[in-house]
Structure 1
Amino acid sequence: MTTSGPLSPVSRTALSVANVRALESERPGGLFTDPYARAFVRTAGYTTGRKPGPYALALAHYTVIRTRFYDDYLLGAVDGGIRQVVLPAAGLDTRAYRLPWPDGVRLYELDLPPVLEFKERVLAGQGAAPRCERTALDVDLTGADWAARLAAAGFDREAPTAWLVEGLFVYLTEDEAVGLLDTLGGLSAPGSRLAHERGRDVSAAGAGDPTVAHLVALWKGGLGTGLGDWLGRHGWNVETHPLDAVAERYGRSWSGTGPDMAGFHVSTRS
């Protein structure tokens, strides 16, 4: 991935996620279509390198289900009247461009400058146009000023927000996860929604599959399996969506490939 600045190892994982989206989009009967994912992969010269192992294949399958689940979550939120959407650590997400947003939706993408620079360049080359009002902000979510940057860009903290924190918490320490959630909670008006993966115990993640060693080495675990409980104690009503039930809903099977891939939480601010 070529940018005007250095790309962190965590940011580089956005390419592997884009590759999964590209493959699913090219599959007959895919759960979603991302017309831009292949352009990210091609522009970056991304290759998987070697044949994926069992845990890598499970992660790819999980990413497909996760993508569709979050698509439906966001569209359900705006169908329910929310018009403000925020994607912290948006990576190479293209939902602003590919989902059928109703009128009046304002969508904010937050990520580091090199990621957004690469993303803007590729999307411009594709002639892509967002289907909602989109604002991209280069921020560090582990820093102290991202909330002020978001407000300065027009975010309305009095309006309910649909937050999507996709694939991020596992890369944070416990203190970083709490800091992000504290800030996010302070920005969330009653009725706001928050979706993310259920907390993982990553101590043995990927054991026996060397093809994911470079990835799981980046995982810090965040709040682990206590993430849902933390939210429940801090003003959120937490709803759990087990992965096997979500997979069945979409006509895909899921057969116990590891307790660290346990599904999703969707929470509502009291």
Structure 2
Amino acid sequence: MMRTDGDSWDIVTSVGLTALGVATFRALETVDPEPMIRDDYAAWFVEAAGEPHFVGMLADPESVGDVRRFGHFMGVRTRYFDEFFAAAWQQGVQQAVILASGLDARAYRLDWPAGAVVFEIDQPRVLEFKDQVLAEHGAVPKADRRVVAVDLRDDWPAALTAAGFDPGQPTAWSAEGLLPFLPGPAHDALFERIDALSAPGSSVATDEFSRGLALRDFADTEEKFFGSNPFGNLDVSDLLYDDTRADPGDWLSRHGWSVHITTPVDLAAAYAHPITDVPPELIDLMRQAHYVRAEKR
């Protein structure tokens, strides 16, 4: 399932299947006795997709190694981006763009302020599936949700603007779980475009793995210590790019953004869910992953 130029997917193939896995981990974290986040929509997507591995994981988490651990990891990531959007709207920002939105249900589950507009960008078939499931459940968004069906390797700024995006207003941008799935040129163009579309007072948050982290080693280490591949037969590293690209934090800093960087390990501790019972080898790898938040001056 190697990547090719211009490839596409639905929710049970290629990159789409990773979005379904992430929804599964959010659903597992939601039913944990001490959850870091609550996403009651996630299980809807997993059940509707009917992919046997993830359906089985929800029905019997103990059957797939220490899979609840992945729910905790996803809880950390999800809470980080939840808090990023909350901080933005507390500063008066009312326009948000979720890049590669996948099965993200933030437009429905977060308490957006009156007048907030949330743009969701992703592949057409992924968004079609998502909208169908939400409609079947009668879900109602808590913001003005606008779907933008476009590949992030294409001219997504034009599609975003056509959907009503206003570059003259501050924007909160999220690129969650996205960057390694983009080839280097599209990765760098993403930040150039965000910068060009961002008025002063805008902010962006992303997670990145470009600081020396060997993604295949990370996946192999997880499987070694947790007993199984949480994505079933899918080798996620086959879908990722490791070509030359700019470091997001450095790039944003050089272009006038104020940058703040943390690690999953530090965030877990801040959320009172410290990572203390996994081997040091895995913790060392996790410290090479970074969460980046930046504000445009």
Same fold (TM > 0.5): yes
**CA displacement 1:100-139 (0-9 Å, x = unmatched):** 1111110000001100000001001111000011101101
- Residue correspondences, number: 264
- Specify which of 8, 17, 28 is matched with residue 12 of structure 1: 17
- Specify which of 76, 86, 100 is matched with residue 65 of structure 1: 76
Pairwise CA distance, 1:234: 2.4
Q: Is the 8 A contact 2:9 2:15 kept in 1?
A: no
**Residue in structure 2 matched with residue 227 of structure 1 by the alignment:** 248
**Residue in structure 2 matched with residue 251 of structure 1 by the alignment:** 272
The aligned runs of 1:157-196 (5 Å cut-off) are 157-196=167-206
TM-score by length of 2: 0.82
- Specify which of 186, 192, 205 is matched with residue 218 of structure 2: 205
* Identity over aligned pairs, percent: 37
**Residue in structure 2 matched with residue 150 of structure 1 by the alignment:** 160
Pairwise CA distance, 1:260: 4.9
Rounded to whole Å, the distance in 2 between the matches of 1:69 and 1:31 is 10
Q: Is the 8 A contact 2:124 2:149 kept in 1?
A: yes
Look up the equivalent residue of 2:250 and give its one-letter code.
D
Pairwise CA distance, 1:248: 1.4
Q: Is the 8 A contact 1:242 1:264 kept in 2?
A: yes
Pairwise CA distance, 1:53: 5.7
Rounded to whole Å, the distance in 2 between the matches of 1:105 and 1:222 is 37
List runs of 5+ in structure 2 lacking aligned partners.
Answer: 1-7, 58-62
Q: Is the 8 A contact 2:100 2:120 kept in 1?
A: yes
- Specify which of 140, 163, 168 is matched with residue 129 of structure 1: 140
Rounded to whole Å, the distance in 2 between the matches of 1:242 and 1:66 is 10
Instruction: Give 3-state SS (helix, strand or coil) of 1:259's partner.
Output: helix
Greater CA drift, 117-126 or 7-16: 7-16
Q: Against the structure 1 CA distance between its residues 174 and 111, is the aligned structure 2 distance closer, same or farther, given a 3 Å change threshold?
A: same
Rounded to whole Å, the distance in 1 between the matches of 2:254 and 2:79 is 29
Pairwise CA distance, 1:231: 1.9
Q: Is the 8 A contact 2:95 2:117 kept in 1?
A: yes
- Specify which of 29, 33, 39 is matched with residue 28 of structure 1: 33
Instruction: Give 3-state SS (helix, strand or coil) of 2:185's partner.
Output: helix
Instruction: Give 3-state SS (helix, strand or coil) of 2:152's partner.
Output: coil
**Residue in structure 1 matched with residue 126 of structure 2 by the alignment:** 115
List runs of 5+ in structure 1 lacking aligned partners.
Answer: none
Pairwise CA distance, 1:58: 5.4
Look up the equivalent residue of 1:207 and give its one-letter code.
D
Q: Is the 8 A contact 1:89 1:166 kept in 2?
A: yes
Pairwise CA distance, 1:269: 1.3
Look up the equivalent residue of 2:160 and give its one-letter code.
L
Instruction: Give 3-state SS (helix, strand or coil) of 1:101's partner.
Output: coil
Q: Is the 8 A contact 2:25 2:68 kept in 1?
A: no
Q: CA RMSD in A?
A: 2.3
**2:109 pairs with 1:83:** no
**CA displacement 1:182-209 (0-9 Å, x = unmatched):** 1111101111100011333235222353
Pairwise CA distance, 1:225: 8.4
